[in-house]
Amino acid sequence: MSVQKDDDGFVTSVGPSTGAVETLAADLAKALPTESEGSTQDPIGLLKSEFEVEITLADQQADPNSPLYSVKSFDELGLTPELAKGVRSMGFIRPSKIQERALPLMLNNPPQNMIAQSQAGTGKTAAFTLAMLSRVDVSIAETQAICLAPTRELARQIMSVVAEMGKFTTVTTGYAIKETPPSPNAHIVIGTAGTMLDLISKKVIKPETIKIFVLDEADNMLEKGTLGDQTLRVKNRMPKTVQTLLFSATFPPHVRAFATKFAPRANEIMLKTEELSLDSVKQFYLDCDSEKHKFEILVQLYSLLVVGQSIIFVQRRDTADSVAARMIAEGHKVTSLTGSHQAGDRDQTIDDFRDGKTKVLITTNVIARGIDITQVNLVINYDLPLTASGEPDVETYLHRIGRTGRFGRKGVSINFVHDRATWNKMHFIETALGKPIERIATTDLDEMEAILRSALKDKGKATGSAGPSQHQS
Ligand SMILES: Nc1ncnc2c1ncn2[C@@H]1O[C@H](COP(=O)(O)OP(=O)(O)OP(=O)(O)O)[C@@H](O)[C@H]1O
């Protein structure tokens, strides 16, 4: 058995040589950012990668077509000195487009509502976090800001951004997530809708004093059904004058109509369809023969390619656990995270992944949205995202592939396609987003190599597959 590493310490090949497959691994490895990029594990790699990321960022932030573009500095956005210091301490040099546009509008008096859309990984969290921190009057020991997110993982992540940005202030914070003690009268409370409602009903959280109400992943939070009902019930407990801020990378038309009622007379920042997906994430699909073949290819891929960190999305909770168990049986180190796991286990799993202690996470849509782990450079859609009625779920697809390519970094996504119906669904998503998804055949290794080679020469501009899918009509 051979183990080869490239210059960045990537394992590009483990085990017996398989010729062209190995070249695929090497090509993919070159297309992907290095393991050290954004990692805190290797000081030498970190120095190098920070330099590279900064140059890329500077280029992108100077390009008017980039979502990271800005003409202003943070100092011109009306932040208090403590918050400006917090932003600087996070290493943010310039605001992104959404931060530059949304912040002055959100901080203006009298407060106005906001519905803001910006691509995945472009800094929405910092934008609404700064708005919440700016609105808190620390001389009053009452809850003044509430932020709701669809999952505990995202609520915990938002909390870490609030804590970091607000570290030079005396703002206090508390959680409204299951199995975590609340902090009555904390200035800012972050949580999930069900638990927030529960704490409000028990009078642990007093909604009468809330001045600012944020929904992260707002289209999801307002979706018809239990979640939308809970969100609405939380809102109805607050003063009518509450400033409501809705943020997401996606606002499908059916939710947008409701959003404008939920946040009336809001300033709106919206994207055009063609702006939705990021060029920094190169999209591929693997043409498999069957469900069984999908698993074989997954195992083969991970035997060849140990990418920095990756997330494998499946549709069902039991699939996440069973694929993880089978991968482990094949000798791979992977962990799974689904909504059926215990709260404490979920926290441990995501924290270990965030810290780089684990490299491969198999999961459901539970972490499709919002999760920001900059070292993730590969997202695999082992199962394509589907709605409850089995239709292709374009929004979830966008959120899933947006777990890589954060704030201008490079990333790769690979869809596993195994029959005509799946191909049609993926093609629907491709058409809806207007960005090509390149084919990688698993049957013809030479073809696979040629496609990847040409795609990699033309970074960021995938030009479509070299041949039709076996599942294409
Ligand atoms: N102005 C900035 N300069 C540099 N980095 C930034 C800036 N603003 C945000 N970031 C970083 O960019 C990354 C993505 O930001 P964030 O998580 O807020 O994106 P998002 O738009 O909320 O994404 P999603 O749609 O996935 O929820 C984070 O690691 C964050 O620290």
Q: Are residues 238 and 363 in the same domain?
A: no
Which domain-ending residue is among 271, 303, 324? 271
Q: Which residue has the higher pLDDT, 180 or 44?
A: 180
Res. 450 pLDDT band, cuts 50 70 90: low
Q: Say if 471 falls within a structural domain.
A: no
- Ligand 1 midpoint to CA 4 (Å): 34
Q: Say if 322 falls within a structural domain.
A: yes
Is residue 243 pLDDT above 50, yes or no? yes
Q: Kindly provide the ipTM of the predicted complex, given to two decimals.
A: 0.99
- Ligand 1 midpoint to CA 323 (Å): 31
Q: Say if 3 falls within a structural domain.
A: no
Which residue of 406, 409, 410, 413 sits with most ligand 1 atoms within 8 Å of its CB, as the best mutation to test the pocket? 406
Q: Are residues 217 and 303 in the same domain?
A: no
Residue 405, ligand 1, Cβ within 6 A: no
Q: Are residues 153 and 263 in the same domain?
A: yes
Q: Are residues 99 and 118 in the same domain?
A: yes
Is residue 470 pLDDT above 70, yes or no? yes
Res. 467 pLDDT band, cuts 50 70 90: low
- Ligand 1 midpoint to CA 123 (Å): 3
Residue 407, ligand 1, Cβ within 6 A: yes
pLDDT tens digits, 201-225: 999 999 999 999 999 999 999 999 9
What pLDDT is attached to residue 271?
Answer: 94
Q: Which of 1-5, 143-147, 225-229, 417-421 has the lowest mean pLDDT?
A: 1-5
Q: Say if 472 falls within a structural domain.
A: no
Q: Are residues 360 and 253 in the same domain?
A: no
Q: Say if 370 falls within a structural domain.
A: yes
pLDDT tens digits, 319-370: 999 999 999 999 899 999 999 999 999 999 999 999 999 999 999 999 999 9
What pLDDT is attached to residue 317?
Answer: 96
Considering the chain, what is the average pLDDT of its residues?
A: 84
Q: Where residue 164 sits, what CATH number does that domain have?
A: 3.40.50.300
Q: Say if 290 falls within a structural domain.
A: yes
Identify which of 116, 73, 78, 112 has the alpha carbon closest to the alpha carbon of residue 96. Answer: 73
Q: Are residues 301 and 251 in the same domain?
A: no
Q: Are residues 403 and 424 in the same domain?
A: yes
Is residue 99 pLDDT above 70, yes or no? yes
Q: Are residues 251 and 354 in the same domain?
A: no
Instruction: Give residue 404's domain range.
Output: 281-457
pLDDT tens digits, 23-65: 444 444 444 444 333 333 332 222 233 444 454 566 666 677 7
Q: Are residues 244 and 309 in the same domain?
A: no
Task: Indicate which atom in ligand 1 lies nearest the CA of residue 157.
Answer: 17
Task: Specify the number of domains making up the chain.
Answer: 2
Res. 300 pLDDT band, cuts 50 70 90: confident
Residue 120, ligand 1, Cβ within 6 A: yes
Task: Indicate which atom in ligand 1 lies nearest the CA of residue 70.
Answer: 1
Q: Are residues 266 and 294 in the same domain?
A: no
What pLDDT is attached to residue 445?
Answer: 52
